[in-house]
Amino acid sequence: MKLNIAVLPGDGIGPEITQQSVKVLNAVADRFEHEFYFEEAVVGAAAIDLLGNPLPDATLELCKKSDAVLFGAIGDPKYDNDPEAKVRPEQGLLKLRKELGLFANIRPVKAYDKLVDRSPLKAEIIKGADMVIFRELTGGIYFGEKSTSEDGRSASDLCTYSVEEIERIAHLAFKAAQLRSKKVTLVDKANVLETSRLWRKTVKEVAKEYKDVELDFLFVDNAAMQMILNPKQFDVILTENMFGDIISDEASVIGGSIGLLESASVGSKVALFEPIHGSYPQAAGKGIANPVASILSAAMLLEHFGLTTEALAVRKAVEMSIALNVCTPDINKDNHYSTAKVGDFLESVISDPEDHDINN
Ligand code: IPM
Ligand code: MN
């Protein structure tokens, strides 16, 4: 298969982790005889520094004409601490999601058996947890009208959803549930918010088309607690933009490190693949960032194009690295490997599976 992949490394640890994913994808291309072409472009704070725009036209054009986008991370503390900044790195990612029509962000979360003791949660609570969060990505409070009063003493962010916006992601969530444990949990705040009541009503209607899937509902505050008390109850979580942002970071604790959590953003033609973690500026350039979230996002890219054997080769290599403790310090404190060394290891396992004695 021939694929044109736009690579947007972004800020902080983005470039170093993305480089490992490209390494891994090249190893996949060699072993399985595909042609993957990579083209890089700037985004985020890096793009503001260079061109004054977090999503330059050339970057957007490249993404639109590519088959897929591999995205690193975005954000820089110099903007986080400056509430007056008019141009912010995050605007680049939000605009990109909107322009590419990426309305669904898919975030799988599972507990790796080898890592259950690494989580601050008790092993018996998380062992076997396996869920996927469907986070709405181009609506809600993130994209509603924003304003600040003239005297600067009040501000507002509007949260709006339409039936169409809810329906299209609900269908994806139910279809995913049909291939998993057949349960969808809608996370909302329907006891308070009008938009949440629209979500409930709409999702109940959509559910009628998926009679084999069980649907239940949780208020987001309770869901946040249930995530820690009993994460095994979840199969597919369906939720709006901001709730999904928050509970997916919380859910990452189950996996043992946020550095392991992959995501795919889909909707229209071009899909985007990015780790759920941020730009981790404190670690930038130190070689300590975990590249696995980005590499597993690359595995989702392969799955998106139906390359399931190839994706499985990547996932098996990652499992092997975890089993052998070939890991960055977020997982392996005492004897850790660098970001690039983890990438090199995965590259070599994928290139020569026999050498590493994994069944494939
Ligand atoms: C994420 C990030 C982004 C979001 C930021 C960087 C805009 O936190 O992808 O989860 O809030 O969606
Ligand atoms: Mn987030």
- Segment 237-253, tens digit of pLDDT: 999 999 999 999 999 99
Instruction: Answer yes or no: is 74 within a domain.
Output: yes
Rounded Cα–Cα distance for residues 182 and 251 (Å):
20
What pLDDT does residue 118 have?
Answer: 84
Across 219-247, average pLDDT: 98
**Final residue of a structural domain among 243, 267, 291:** 267
Q: Is a pLDDT exceeding 70 seen at residue 72?
A: yes
Regarding whether 311 and 262 lie in a shared domain, the answer is: no
Predicted confidence (pLDDT) at residue 1 exceeds the cutoff of 60: yes
DSSP for 225-283, please give it.
HHHHH-GGG-SEEEE-HHHHHHHHHHHHHHHT-GGG---EEESSSSEEE--SS---GGG
Going by CA atoms, what residue is nearest to atom 9 of ligand 1?
276
The answer to whether residue 164 scores a pLDDT higher than 90 is yes
Confidence of residue 357 (pLDDT cuts 50, 70, 90): low
Same domain, 260 and 310: no
Q: Which ligand has the minimum distance to the alpha carbon of residue 75?
A: 1
Q: Please tell me the distance between residue 337's alpha carbon and the centre of ligand 2 in angstroms.
A: 26
337 in the same domain as 233: no
Please indicate, yes or no, whether residues 262 and 295 belong to a single structural domain of this protein.
no
CATH number, domain of 263, equals: 3.40.718.10
Q: How far apart are the CA of 276 and the centre of ligand 1, in A?
A: 7
Q: Are residues 259 and 114 in the same domain?
A: yes
Residue 278 CA to ligand 2 center (angstroms) comes to: 7
Q: What's residue 216's pLDDT? A: 98
Element holding 80 (H helix, E strand)? helix 77-80
For residue 120, give both structure tokens: 């601050």
80 and 109, same domain (yes or no): no
167 and 178 belong to one structural domain? yes
Question: In which domain, by residue range, is 134 found?
Answer: 103-267
> How confident is the model over 8-54, as pLDDT tens digits?
999 999 999 999 999 999 999 999 999 999 999 999 999 999 999 99
For residue 333, what pLDDT is reported? Answer: 85
Q: What percent of the chain has pLDDT over 90?
A: 91
Q: How far is the CA of 18 from the centre of ligand 1 (A)?
A: 17
Q: Which residues line ligand 1 (CB under 6 A)?
A: 74-75, 90, 93-94, 245, 276, 278
Distances (CA, A) of 109 to 296, 325, 328: 12, 20, 19
Ligand 2 ion: residues within 5 Å (CB): 245
Query: What are the pLDDT digits (tens) for 253-282?
Result: 998 889 999 999 999 899 999 999 999 999
* pLDDT tens column, 281-292: 999 999 999 999
Which ligand has its closest atom nearest to the C-alpha of 275?
1
Q: 297 and 203 share a domain?
A: no
Closest CA to 9 of 62, 70, 76, 90: 70
pLDDT of residue 83: 86
pLDDT > 70 fraction of the chain, expressed in percent and rounded: 99
ipTM score of complex: 0.99
**Structural domain count, the chain:** 2
Which sequence positions are flagged as catalytic? 142, 189, 221, 245, 249
Q: In a mutational test of the pocket of ligand 1, which residue from 8, 90, 136 has the highest number of ligand atoms less than 8 Å from its CB? A: 90
Same domain, 74 and 137: no
Q: What's the mean pLDDT in 63-88?
A: 94
Mean pLDDT, range 346-355, rounded to an integer? 91
Give the ligand at the shortest distance from the Cα of 135.
Answer: 1
pLDDT digits (tens, 9 = 90+) for 167-197: 999 999 999 999 999 999 999 999 999 999 9
Nearest CA to ligand 1 atom 5: 90
Residue 81: band (very low, low, confident or very high) from pLDDT cuts 50, 70, 90? confident
Q: Is residue 274 part of a domain?
A: no
Q: Ligand 1: which residue has its CA nearest to atom 6?
A: 90
The predicted structure's pLDDT at residue 291: 98
Instruction: Measure the CA–CA gap between 68 and 299, rounded to whole angstroms.
Output: 12
Residue after which a domain boundary falls, among 267, 300, 319: 267
Contact between 224 and 247 under an 8 Å Cβ cutoff? The reply is: yes
Query: Is the per-residue pLDDT at 150 higher than 90?
Result: yes
